[in-house]
Amino acid sequence: MNDSTIINPFPTITFAEVVDIIFVAVLLYTAIVWARQTRAAFVVRGILILGGIYIIARYLDLQMTAWVFQGFFAIFLIMIVVIFQEELRQFFERIAVWSLARKRVPALGSHTSDILVRTLSDLAKEHVGALMVIRGNDPLERHITGGIPLDGKLSGPLLKSIFDPHSPGHDGAVLVEQDCMTRFAAHLPLSKNLTQLSNVGTRHSAALGLAELTDALCIVVSEERGTISFARDGKLREVENLQQLGAVIDSFLRTKFPSAQQSNLSLQFFRENWIAKAISLSLAIGFWYIFVPGSKTVQVSYRIPVSVENLPADLRVEDIEPPMVNATFSGPRRAFYLFDARKIRVAIDVSMAELGRRTFNISEQNIRYPKELTLQELNPSTLRLSVKKIPAAVDTNRG
C-alpha cells in the first residue's frame, strides 16, 4: 500500500475569493434559469453527462476516451455559438438590462389585475379572440414587429373596442406597460414548440413565442373555445377559473414590479428557485476549488512498491532491497484530486538477471505516472535483487 504526503483538503479562502464565488454563482444561476426557459436545457444536461463521463475516464485512466473528450471540449464553444445564436443574444441582452441603472417602475395597482380579469372574462364569454402582453423587465422591441403606437390608459372598454372583430387591429397583440396600453395590432414571433401547441391556434403560438424569448406575461383568449390561457417563462397553460387568472397576473406584477416596502433580502429570495440557487453555489465553490487552489503547484511524496518484469522462467525472486522507493512529484493541486496513488508502480526489467546482474538503476522511465505531474526526486536510485535458480523437476517415471 502506498504512503503519501497528505494534501490539505480545506485550503484557506480570502474575502476577495468569497466575493469571486458569489459573483460566479450569480452568473451560473442566470445561465441555469435561462437554460430552463429555452431549448438549451436538454443540451446542457447532455454536456453535464459528457463532463461526468470525462471525469470518470480520467480517474480510471482511460486514455483514449479522455483524449476524445478533450477534442470535443476544444470545439465546444464554437458549437455553442453556432447552435444557440438567438438564445445567447437573449442571455446577454438580459445581463445588459440588469446591469443598467433602470428607474424603479411604480408598482401596478390591484385595479390593473381587476380590469384585465373582467375584460378577459367578457371576451371569453363572447368568444372574441384576444392577445395581451404584459411587459416585464426584458426589452420587447427586437421581438415585436408592426403595430400602432398607443398611449392610452388601461380600460375595459378600450380593450374591447380594439379586439372587436370589426376593428382593423383585432388580430394583433396589445402591449400593456405601467397601467397603459402602449401598442396594439402588434405581431409577435411564433413558437416552434409543437408539443405545447397541439390543438391551439396562431394566437397561442405567438404568445408562447414571446414568452420563450422574454419574461413577459402573455394572455390569450381562444375565439373557438372561449377559454383563457397564459404563457410565461416558455410554458403555455390554460386557466381553470377567473380566480386563478387573477392570481397569475398578481403574482407576475408582484415579482416584476415589487413595492418599495418589499425588502430585497426577504426570505422570499431564498424560497424561490432554491434548488437552482443551491446548485449554482455548489458549482461555483467546486470551480473555485479546482481552478484557484487547484492551480497552485504542490509537491507530494509517495512510497512506491517495486515490481519486477521479464523475470526468466528458471529464476525466482527471493528479496528486493529496498522493496519500496520514495518518489516526489510536483504539479498543480488539481492533478492530485483524481490521482490514485495505488496505481503507481516502479517496474524493473530483470531479464538480464540470469547473466549475474544483481544491481539495477531506477530512473523516470521505470515509473508510470500522469503526464500533468513532474518527477522531482527518486530515492534511492538503485536497488539490489536477490534471485535463486529454480531446480529442474525430477521425472519420477524414468526407470
- Give the model's pLDDT for residue 36: 66
The shares of helix, strand and coil residues in the chain, as percent rounded to the nearest 5, are: 40, 25, 35
Is the full-model pTM beyond 0.85? Answer: no
Strands 359-361, 173-177: pairing is unpaired
According to the CATH classification, is domain 296-389 in 3.60.70.12? no
- Give the model's pLDDT for residue 101: 45
- Give the model's pLDDT for residue 103: 46
Cell digits of residue 67:
483524449
Consecutive 10-residue runs of the chain (399 residues): their mean pLDDT?
Answer: 57 81 81 65 71 76 75 70 66 60 48 87 91 86 84 88 85 86 90 84 90 88 90 89 89 75 49 74 82 79 84 79 86 76 78 69 79 83 80 57
- Give the model's pLDDT for residue 105: 47
- Give the model's pLDDT for residue 125: 92
- Give the model's pLDDT for residue 263: 45
- Residue 342, classed as helix, strand or coil, is helix
CA distances from 158 to 94, 146, 228 (A): 32, 20, 19
- Give the model's pLDDT for residue 205: 92
- Tell me the C-alpha distance between 217 and 162, whole Å: 19
Q: Where are the alpha helices (DSSP H) in the chain?
A: 15-37, 40-59, 63-74, 76-83, 85-99, 110-125, 156-162, 202-213, 242-256, 267-271, 274-291
Do the beta carbons of residue 270 and residue 287 sit within 8 Å? Answer: no
Cell digits of residue 294:
487547484
- Give the model's pLDDT for residue 220: 94
Instruction: Give the residue extent of every domain in the chain.
Output: 3-102+267-293, 110-256, 296-389
CATH class of 110-256: alpha beta
